[in-house]
Structure 1
Amino acid sequence: MLTADLAQSYQRGGNIYPRYINANDANYLQVANDLVGIVREHRGRRYGELTGALDEYVGTGTDYRILRGLIKLLIDRCVFATSAPADPVEIRASLFRRARMVHPVIDNPILRQQIIVDVAGEFNCIPESVIDGMYADLKENERLVDFEELESRDLLDRYNLAQAQALLYRCVEMQLRVERQEPVGYRKLFDAIKAYRLIHSIKGNPSAGYEVLLNGPVSLFHRSQKYGIQMAVFLPALLACQGWHMRAEISVKQGSNAFFELASTQERLRSSHAGDFVYENPLLDKLIASWAKLQSDWVLERSAAVINLGASAFTPDMVFCHPTGKQIFLEVLGFWTPRYLNERLQEFAHDKFKEFILVMSDELRGSHEQPNTVPPNVIVCKTVIDPGAIQTTLEQLTSGNNQIGY
């Protein structure tokens, strides 16, 4: 993605637009091809050599920010690593220790070379590797060990996508209107929202479609930068879905906002997600593994349901199934605030739905405020969901005296 200094946009009236480039333009295609070639040719060479070659190519042209943006996207696809016969810290320590014993060595090239040879023997390498490895851990000396190459057109498409993503760093809230479609279409979009752990509410029903409201990073007081990145990387997943219209409120300056609108019918932006979107959650993966060892009567399964709560919808991640036929649904929330939690609980209360468990990570709490109280079927954890706590909650929910839920 792009940094703020490389993001470009413009306003017309109350709307804001990313400043896209023409991905079919022959000049831009040639520039993209040249830049990819420069990076390719620097495999195995130092970071400083690569950036020097790129700086020379950029020069001082009028498209400076565009070129820098393309370069940023290419550098993000590179892997740099320290290349040295031993830890550079150890190499430096050995060199300085030996040099201190015969100080000074700066004016004695023969003595200096002998120290380097001695250190090379210590680390079983050639003298040249000692010189190269002495400061190999500095960023400019790291070597390009891998480059995820791409076509010129793909780079230009990703540049345009990155410009749109950059606007979402400053999003106050995002509204999504989801057209009537097959249940699998709804679930694909909702899973994309959940995968990036965005604070959201879902209103509507499957026969009429849904309206989804997502909180933006500007609305949070805590962890807003991390959340902003999540909202930006959500965009490619959204583009892979069908039947939606987005209206995002963007903070443009103090006390002033503008709107960025986008629809699934647009053709300029291309999703970087290939094929079906896969929703993964490490907390759930750990729970599935630990639950299998618990030997509970409750069977844990993935859920693809979209449960109608009247005015809203519930999209559980998992369902616990009991031999008696009872089912309890579990959802792991992403980022959350105490206010958001209360609103979610009110949705369940409105439909008198109690067969649920909500799990929240305290590390994703988006405000400094702590929740005053939580019902027993709301579980707050750190990085692991305690299967024992889940088992206890299941027993409480299915007991004859179940008074919990909201």
Structure 2
Amino acid sequence: MPTARELRPLPVPPGERAPTVLPALRRALDGDGPALLPVDAAGPDDDVLRALGAGTPLEPGEDDPADPTALVIATSGSTGTPKGVLLPAAALRASATATHRHLGGPGRWLLAMPAHHVAGIQVLVRSLVAGTDPVAVDTAGGFRPDRFAAAAERCLADPGRHYTALVPTQLRRLLDDGGAGLAALRAFDAVLLGGAATPPALRERAAAAGVRVVTTYGMSETAGGCVYDGTPLDGVRVHVEAAADGSGPVALSGPTLARGYRRGSGASPFRDGWFRTGDLGRLADGRLEVLGRADDVIITGGVNVAPVLVERILAEHPGVREVCVLGVDDPEWGQAVVAAVVPADPAAPPPVAELRAAVRDRAGAAGAPKRVEFLAELPLRGPGKPDRRALRATLGR
């Protein structure tokens, strides 16, 4: 019987040095060596390393000689419990190939987010598949438009097609700053935008500025984004168990799907070749609209409210820079709708009455926030998702 392959940590340096992991990543994709667990070289999480068994062999069912597990991506999802997503080499390559086909062909990539998360590591995988050398942004001290511009200049110097991937917060900063960063962004053939819900107003603003944005939906379990601008990539299938209003739980299938979870136990969302995402959505003319996590739905006074729909309305107000909506326990309503708002001008936040009225007029009285809290910034987790658990701990009073 062959010896089981080891799961070995892959410390990924931040910023410009991230591409130094490319040789190890190439070997993992070729099955020549251990499976890799990407971690932040600046401070690996010991709890994650222990929970996922870094330095120990892969267990039965976690590998296949014909299609080796190349990466194990650590994710806590919305629960906070560490899980390791087993990504076979074939799934990673299928994702990269389908992305290039959708965008118009292979190109050179600019890495602008941490490469120990799936969105960042996939920029490196796509570069390997395309046979191009990626360029990485210097992110020491955080994302800065001037550093993005400097890295983009190096990336764009080569002929051919050029791509990058951002989270909405990064796009918003580039749009707000204008100047060289925004000018560079306009030169990319496509800017993948994912990691968190994209407010329609932000996308419209980017389009007006000449930025070619492609919104993505996916997760570690699907090797990153697998639905672009609502359309599944080649080979990807989407199913929505629709209720009377046309919305329901979203399930995904296809060649980009993970093998399962490292040391998986209990009920699995992987069944019969499908991954049950835990998200709600609806299909219209073959296009998927994601309505947010099922467990984020707020039940207030017996009425279900989807936070993402309230967020979209609030984000259209000119006085709102960023927003996150969540439900907090309330003795009268069961849950109360609370909006955490980052104002466009901290010295002149938008009138709360205007925000409530906008939601009430378009989404009904139940969705109107019972409370609006103005914050300097939203707490984030992963590559750029609002940290709802941290917000709930702060606002659930």
| TM norm structure 1 | 0.28
Which is richer in helix?
1
Which is richer in strand?
2
Q: Which has the higher contact order (CA 8 A, sep 6+)?
A: 1
| TM norm structure 2 | 0.29
